[in-house]
Amino acid sequence: MSILFTFPGQGAQRPGMLHALPSHPEVLRTLDESAAVLAADPLNLDTQEALASTVAVQLCLLIAGVAMARTLIAHGAFPDMVAGLSIGAYPAAVIAGSIDHRDAVKLVARRARLMESAFPYGHGMAAITGLDRYQLEPLIACTHSASTPVYLANLNAHRQMVIAGADAAMQTVMRLAVEHGASKVERLAVNVPSHCPLFEMAAEEMRSAFRDVTLQQPSAVYLSSSAARALRDPARIAEDLAGNMAHQVDWSETAQLAWESGARLAVEMPSGSVLTKLTTSAFADGLTICCDNLRIDTVLALIADVRGSQ
């Protein structure tokens, strides 16, 4: 049986998330590497005020994910597979051994600045629960236009979808979704319309940035949540990372793929428990946990139990 490390995307951030990381040499190493690249203290990124910036949010999720995963690995808890949602794909690629953390910091900072400058206001993402994609897609289609863009961005679970686009268009789809039986609609803490064609130009700029970075073949299985498949070729992983802001996410199929590939324990890196909840249905006969609400020794013991039952 295998271990899957999962890395959340934007919306999972919370104030103080970097300060809440364990006191461990691997956390300090990750913070020091990040500080050297940014020429600034990354611990200033996780305040309530700082997290209003997409740049701070995405850097915090990268740093927290890498730091926690490195801490577990230092105690012998290696992942067999990694998967990240949106920005979470970057720390996943770092932990898989495909990209150096310092390169990832540079790229994520650039990615976030591109996204923030392209849509500084008036756009975002919203979650819709209780409808499947075939019920939701017609509501999006009758709302979407050049002046009111809205897209199906994330297939998180069978009846948990995320839309992205202009605020007014999202509000219309949310209202229609409730009228058609949605049990919950929620504007997410995401200020950019990720995972839709609105970001194709920014993705092209990221592809150019990746030409200056050397990626390696991963040592752990890297699962793309955009393609819902394992990627091994460094060039394909680079394309996955560069382009994922403009591509739909299918977390439901990615989690199912991990299960079918032998994963029986999914461990979510900070912050929060969003992916733990979304992965539970695919791991109905396994276990999904998040580091945020467990002691490190408990997480290590659970990983050791799974390893011991192989």
Q: Are residues 42 and 170 in the same domain?
A: no
Residues 10, 233: Cα–Cα separation, whole Å: 26
* Burial (Cβ within 10 Å: 0-12, 13-18, ≥19) of residue 201: exposed
Residue 137 pLDDT > 90: yes
Over the stretch 219-268, which tens digit does the pLDDT of each residue have? 999 999 999 999 999 999 999 999 999 999 999 999 999 999 999 999 99
Residue 306 pLDDT > 70: yes
- Which pLDDT belongs to residue 62? 98
Over the stretch 50-62, which tens digit does the pLDDT of each residue have? 999 999 999 999 9
Distances in Å between the alpha carbon of 227 and those of 31, 101, 214, 286?
31, 23, 22, 23
Q: Are residues 185 and 211 in the same domain?
A: no
Measured in Å, how far apart are the chain's first and last C-alpha atoms?
5
Q: Model-level pTM greater than 0.85? A: yes
Residue 1 pLDDT > 80: no
Residue 293 pLDDT > 70: yes
Coil, helix or strand at residue 222: strand
Cβ neighbours, 10 Å, residue 186: 13
- Which pLDDT belongs to residue 188? 93
Distances in Å between the alpha carbon of 85 and those of 62, 204, 291?
11, 20, 16
DSSP element (H, E) containing 179: helix 167-179
- Which pLDDT belongs to residue 134? 96
Q: Are residues 163 and 237 in the same domain?
A: no
- Averaged confidence pLDDT in the chain: 96
Q: Are residues 222 and 176 in the same domain?
A: no
Q: Are residues 203 and 71 in the same domain?
A: yes
Mean local confidence (pLDDT), 203-219: 97
Which of 135, 163, 190 marks a domain boundary?
190
Total domains in the fold of the chain: 2
Length of the chain as a residue count: 310
In 3D space, the residue among 62, 92, 103, 64 whose CA is nearest the CA of residue 230 turns out to be: 92
Residues 237, 257: Cα–Cα separation, whole Å: 17
Which of 190, 212, 238 marks a domain boundary?
190
Q: How far is CA 50 from the centre of its chain?
A: 19
Q: Are residues 169 and 212 in the same domain?
A: no
Q: What positions carry a catalytic annotation?
A: 86, 195
Residue 207 pLDDT > 90: yes
Give 199's contacts (C-beta < 8 A, 6+ positions apart).
Answer: 115, 118, 192, 193, 245, 246
- How sure is the predictor about 310, in pLDDT bands with cuts at 50, 70 and 90? low
Over the stretch 175-188, which tens digit does the pLDDT of each residue have? 999 999 999 999 99
Residue 100, domain extent: 2-118+198-308
Over the stretch 71-110, which tens digit does the pLDDT of each residue have? 999 999 999 999 999 999 999 999 999 999 999 999 999 9
Q: What is the CATH number of the domain that holds 247?
A: 3.40.366.10
Residues 65, 271: Cα–Cα separation, whole Å: 8
Q: Are residues 292 and 145 in the same domain?
A: no
Q: Are residues 213 and 272 in the same domain?
A: yes
Q: Are residues 114 and 128 in the same domain?
A: no
| Two tokens, residue 208 | 């150019």
Which of 137, 163, 190 marks a domain boundary?
190
- The residue type found at 76 is G
Residue 189 pLDDT > 90: no
Q: Are residues 144 and 271 in the same domain?
A: no
Q: Are residues 299 and 243 in the same domain?
A: yes
Residues 109, 242: Cα–Cα separation, whole Å: 13
- The residue type found at 149 is P
DSSP conformation class of 116: H
Contact 65, 84 (CB under 8 A): yes
Coil, helix or strand at residue 231: strand
Q: What is the CATH number of the domain that holds 185?
A: 3.30.70.250
Residue 148 pLDDT > 80: yes
Residues 177, 185: Cα–Cα separation, whole Å: 8
Q: Are residues 180 and 31 in the same domain?
A: no
DSSP element (H, E) containing 4: strand 2-7
- Which pLDDT belongs to residue 120? 82
